[in-house]
Structure 1
Amino acid sequence: MTPSPRWLLCFVLCALFPTMAEQSSASQPSAQRDRTNVSVGQSFTGHYEGAATNRAQQVIPLAIDLTDAGGHLSGEISSTFGVFPIVGGNHQADAITIEFDAGGEKGTISAKLSDGRLFGTFTTGDDGGSIDVKKTADVPGRADTGKSAMATPILFLGVYHMANPGLDEVNTQADDVLTPKRQQELDDLADRLARFRPTKIAIEAPYRDTYWPDQYKKYLAGHYKLGRNEIEQIAFRLAKRLNLPTLYGIDFQMFANGLTPSEMELPNKTPESHKEAASLSPEEQLLRQSTVRQYLAHLNSAAEIQKNHEGYMTSLLPTDDPAIYKKADIVANWYKRNLRIFANINRVTE
């Protein structure tokens, strides 16, 4: 079948375009040809998700919502350490520098964009490291795959029992947190935690229990004086700074034997008295030699968390105990309780 003239014309034009382009290029001055070959830079605007690794080799999940409006960079960086506004920066070709406010300190990201990935380095204060994030959407604030994994950053802070209730298997004897020195340290801690800008604060109290939220409301009204409990000294203090209306209990109370408080008749325990310095354990001596912030940094370090997990794992080593599943059940109950606490965190998270 003979092709129609229209299709034939199309085939001819397609064949002629390269020749015409080559002739046009050859007739242009070299400077003009160079301008024609300059590639258009990639758009940096979008939603990115990935992680940063700091100098302590901690992997920090993060998301970047970046808007590039004619060279003016804006947006925010969400991480497990807080949400930080992007305040400036610049870019050239595939390289970009992002400046952000890291809670009063200047932070900088220097990266390159390649195949939808930003990879490079970051610095903030005396910390820094590598960063690798992938663009998941061309529009800041959402991911094409659905709800962003960074929609709700959560900061977990492990603390010691400041009021010495003596209810744990291993009890650290704390010094008096009501002294002027400790109170100043707790104010400093609250200032630093406030940089995370939490919208909710969860505490070790039974889920939906109203006792501590009610005490917090009295505290806001000026009818409650802070005691030694860490819920009061840290959570109350921080929540008031942030003008938060309430606190959220997320605990699931269960003992290592698998029983809940309602299933056991417990003896009344009074807070343990303060020990003399000579009888302090190495951990208790470290607490007294440290500020509250320094000691909490120690408790939440990767090495200390690993050591705590190892304690449960090594308890499963073979023994002569005839109750062969006793320790396995204790370890299972420990993680069962913590997983139920995690489920309660999900219930109060938006």
Structure 2
Amino acid sequence: MRLTFTLILSLCFSLSFSQKNSKTNVILIGTYHFNNPGFDEGKVTERSILTPDNQNSLERITNKLLKTYKPSKVFVEYDYAKRTRLNDMYLLYKSGKPFYQKDTLKDDYYKRFYAENEIFQFGFRLANKAKNDVIYAMDYDKVPIRFNLIKSKISENSTFQFSDYQKKIASLETFMNDCLGKNSLEEVLKCLNSAEQYRLNKGLYISFLNKLNKDPDFFGSELVSSWYKRNLIMYGNIQNQVTSSDKNIVIILGAGHAAIMEEFIKADEQFNLIRINEIL
């Protein structure tokens, strides 16, 4: 009887250990947008990813990721519906050919986007070093989020003023710009993926914008839920491209998305969250 009981305990432990270790490690990396398009509510200062120091940092960071958690899949903030186009560019990159034609681009935004954005500078570089045949898109930006109505909605609310909202944005801007002022890109990423950055980013939505609620439209909760909806769709695009054979994956996306995505990863039984701060 004692032997049988011991065998059962041993089997249960083995199954538990196996299930724990069958989880996919997810290395979550929130970044600033390297090409600095200025689309976000909070405006950040310029930090060129093309400087020799930042290029050297990217080499060190990707080498560390490769050595510690060689990813089978790298996810980037690129439109999921256009994933074929993304991989057409990636295959050119892998073969050492130009993946975009600079001379044909008339818009300065696109010139900077293809030359500097983290999708290509970070994602392509890491996936190529990991010898991945494919890079994975996950973005979805078709959820309407009515930031343009915030000022008018605040004017309808007697609890606080538009200046209160501006102060919230300013505190987030200050923190982000302090991060961007760090000496190395490693320190920048540690700061952008800190608990404080995540708290400030989520706090803007939960502790402030969600209170802009007035019957019948409940604008604040509608706006916050739309932001979460976009991120949930992005997360679903990740979930549906991961298989049980994936031991390690990397997600590279804007720091604001990372603040939300962290919650989803921690609650997902198939994933084990690895913070970039633990690697750098």
TM-score between both structures, scaled by the size of structure 2? 0.61
Between 1 and 2, higher relative CO (CA 8 Å, sep ≥ 6) is seen in 2
Q: CA deviation at 1:211?
A: 2.5
Indicate if the aligned counterparts of 1:208 and 1:248 stay in contact, CA closer than 8 A: no
Q: CA deviation at 1:171?
A: 3.1
- Does 2:44 align with 1:172? yes
- For 1:282 and 1:151, the matched residues in 2 are separated by 34
Residue number in structure 2 paired with 1:289: 182
Indicate if the aligned counterparts of 2:210 and 2:221 stay in contact, CA closer than 8 A: no
Q: CA deviation at 1:150?
A: 3.5
- For 1:319 and 1:330, the matched residues in 2 are separated by 9
- For 1:334 and 1:184, the matched residues in 2 are separated by 34
Aligned in 2, Cα 1:348/1:341: closer, same or farther, shift over 3 Å?
Answer: same
- Does 2:31 align with 1:159? yes
Indicate if the aligned counterparts of 2:78 and 2:119 stay in contact, CA closer than 8 A: no
Residue number in structure 2 paired with 1:196: 69
Indicate if the aligned counterparts of 1:161 and 1:174 stay in contact, CA closer than 8 A: no
Aligned in 2, Cα 1:150/1:307: closer, same or farther, shift over 3 Å?
Answer: farther
Aligned in 2, Cα 1:320/1:292: closer, same or farther, shift over 3 Å?
Answer: same
Residue number in structure 1 paired with 2:145: 257
Structure whose residues are more often helix by fraction: 2
TM-score between both structures, scaled by the size of structure 1? 0.50
Which has the larger displacement, 234-243 or 289-298? 289-298
- For 2:184 and 2:197, the matched residues in 1 are separated by 17
Output the aligned Cα RMSD.
3.4
- Does 2:236 align with 1:346? no
Letter in 1 for 2:27: L
Q: CA deviation at 1:182?
A: 0.8
From 183, 205, 211, the counterpart of 1:312: 205
Aligned in 2, Cα 1:309/1:221: closer, same or farther, shift over 3 Å?
Answer: same
Structure whose residues are more often strand by fraction: 1
Equivalent runs, 1:232-247 vs 2, <5 Å? 232-247=120-135
- For 1:305 and 1:297, the matched residues in 2 are separated by 12
Q: Deviations over 1:166-222 (max 9, x none)?
A: 222223233111111110011111112212111011111122412322111111111
- Corresponding residue SS for 1:235: helix
Indicate if the aligned counterparts of 1:202 and 1:250 stay in contact, CA closer than 8 A: yes
Count matched residues.
Answer: 199
Structure 2 unaligned regions, length at least 5: 100-113, 148-172, 244-280
- For 1:281 and 1:222, the matched residues in 2 are separated by 39
Residue number in structure 1 paired with 2:152: none
- For 2:22 and 2:43, the matched residues in 1 are separated by 35
